[in-house]
A and B are shown apart, each in its own frame.
Chain A
Amino acid sequence: MSLRVQYARPRSLDQAAELLGGLTSGAVIIAGGQELMPHLNYGRLAPSVLVDISNLNELRGIQATDSGVAIGALCVHRDIQHDALVSERAPLLAFAASQVGGGWQVQNRGTIGGNIVAMHPLYDIAPPLLALEATVEIRDQQDTRSTSLAALIADPAKQLGGAAVITQVLVPTMAAESGWAYEKLQLTAGSYGSANAAAVVTLDGNHKLASIRLVVGAVAEQPLDVSEQLGDLTGKDAETALAGVGSICEQAVTEPLSDQQGDGEYRRAMAGVIGRRAVAAAIARIMSPGEER
């Protein structure tokens, strides 16, 4: 910990990238501050330089792309949940953004980029983005590149290092006929999730499962994408498929979290329950589209 913290507020993304590239270790990017400030307040984090990117307009805005929607890294949860384009093309994400904890205050300030970079196992944004197979655009001193969110989460040090900025999140448009759901189990209204799950499914004309994406979060250090394991369920009728979801989710939790949101056994079991409920809700959305969940 040091008393002295330097501060820089680059005026452009280029400048931010150059600055970050030139700084040695100890530089920390700050935007909404929702993740960083508690650590700074309690003196648990002592960066040598705070690089404030909160006024880089290049990182704002939500735009349509050919295949979906591009969300600027500085977009806050509240913007995302109320955005017409996101609601149309990726309603799962819009809904999940409304489930971010901390109330409206945090949803008004917390950014999608910050939520991703925090890599907090109990946060709400990564599971739906993984279910939607989102990619992130990363900028550093050398270049701009895209990588899947899955790859970023698997190895953040390699993808981001100390000198890169997430600039935007690219979310593919969900198939019009798909059903989706985001389920979150909170012990109380003020708790972080004990388990959460984002599901996207499609059914064929005979109500058989045609495709399924399911990511379970808050049960392990990283969100667990169980879509591949669920692959065998495709082709089965919805009810039969659903019956198989829970145990597959449970089996995927090899190293469960254990904290005040529940011990490992509980988390593993809840991965099954919440995973299954998410799929059930996603199917229900297709079967009875008019009904509010």
Chain B
Amino acid sequence: MSENMEELLEDFIYWQARVNGRLQDAEIHPAMSLLDLLRDELRLTGTHMGCMTGHCGACTVLIDGKVAKSCITPAASVQGKSVTTLEGLASDGDPHPVQQAFAEESGFQCGYCAPGMVLTTAELLAKTTDPSDEEIQQALAGNLCRCTGYQSILRAVRKAAARLAD
């Protein structure tokens, strides 16, 4: 291998991105997940570990405004992008209407699945404020909740939708 190719290889990555509006940096292991970076390096613990295989959705964040599972997103691949976690969804200290609806309707019980439920709903309602129940269920397909049986979650989504439609 040529020398300039050798130079491409790094043991650690100097990582930089905007997280919840703030420019953050860290030195990270190449195989590190975005979840571990957020939780262990940046101490943003509002994003939760549930399975590390991308099935439960508790680790959901927004990357450039779109939902992603941070446990199966390589931290390295979000270099220079904008990441929003559940902590960062509020604007100027005011909760996002979706957060407010989930709080008011108790759209959770233990709350561990909230990152996936709230952030996916935010993305859904950015597209339509009149989703059918089937559309809501489809949108939430990447998220597991073990407590609610989904009834209160659907109520919260409907309430947030109604509020955003006004």
Contacts and interface: CB of A to CB of B under 8 A. Distances in A.
Contacts of B158: none
Interface in B13-34: 13, 29-31, 33
B162 to A, nearest CB: 22
Q: Which of A9, A37, A49, A105 is packed against the most chain B CB atoms within 10 Å? A: A105
B76 A109 contact: no
Interface in A1-51: 4-10, 15, 18-19, 22-23, 30-34, 36-38, 40-42, 49-50
B66 A108 contact: yes
A191 to B, nearest CB: 11
B10 A6 contact: yes
Contacts of B1: 19, 22-23
Q: Which of A4, A31, A33, A42 is packed against the most chain B CB atoms within 10 Å? A: A33
Contact of A105 (B2, B8, B120): B120
B69 A105 contact: yes
Interface residues of B: mostly helix, strand, loop or mixed? mixed
A189 interface: yes
Contact of A37 (B55, B57, B60, B72): B72
B71 A7 contact: no
A104 B72 contact: no
Contacts of B55: 102, 190
B74 A102 contact: no
A290 interface: no
A55 B77 CA distance: 8
A8 B71 contact: no
Given A37-B54, A37-B73, A104 B8 contact: no
B153 interface: no
B77 A6 contact: no
Contacts of A52: 74, 76-77
B57 A105 contact: yes
Given A7-B9, A103-B142, A108-B66, A33 B72 contact: yes
B147 to A, nearest CB: 16
B123 interface: yes
Interface string B28-54: 011101000000000000000000111
Nearest to A8: B8
Interface string B83-107: 0000000000000000000000000
Contacts of A4: 11
A247 interface: no
B52 A7 contact: no
A54 interface: yes
Contact of A38 (B5, B30, B53, B142): B53
Given A7-B13, A33-B74, A52-B76, A22 B5 contact: yes
A106 interface: yes
A102 B8 contact: no
Nearest to A39: B53
Contacts of A108: 63, 66-68
A123 B11 CA distance: 33
A5 B32 CA distance: 10
A67 B144 CA distance: 42
Q: Which of A31, A34, A42 is packed against the most chain B CB atoms within 10 Å? A: A34
Given A42-B52, A103-B57, A105-B57, A190 B5 contact: no
Given A37-B71, A42-B52, A50-B31, A8 B77 contact: no
Contact of B8 (A15, A31, A106): A15
Interface in B113-139: 116, 120, 123, 137, 139
A22 B71 contact: no
Given A8-B10, A22-B2, A34-B54, 18 more contacts: A8-B8, A30-B74, A33-B74, A34-B73, A37-B54, A38-B53, A101-B141, A102-B55, A102-B69, A103-B120, A104-B139, A105-B54, A105-B67, A105-B68, A108-B63, A109-B68, A109-B73, A190-B141
Interface of A: 4-10, 15, 18-19, 22-23, 30-34, 36-38, 40-42, 49-50, 52, 54-55, 78, 101-106, 108-109, 189-190
Nearest 4 interchain pairs by C-beta = A103-B142, A22-B1, A7-B30, A37-B72
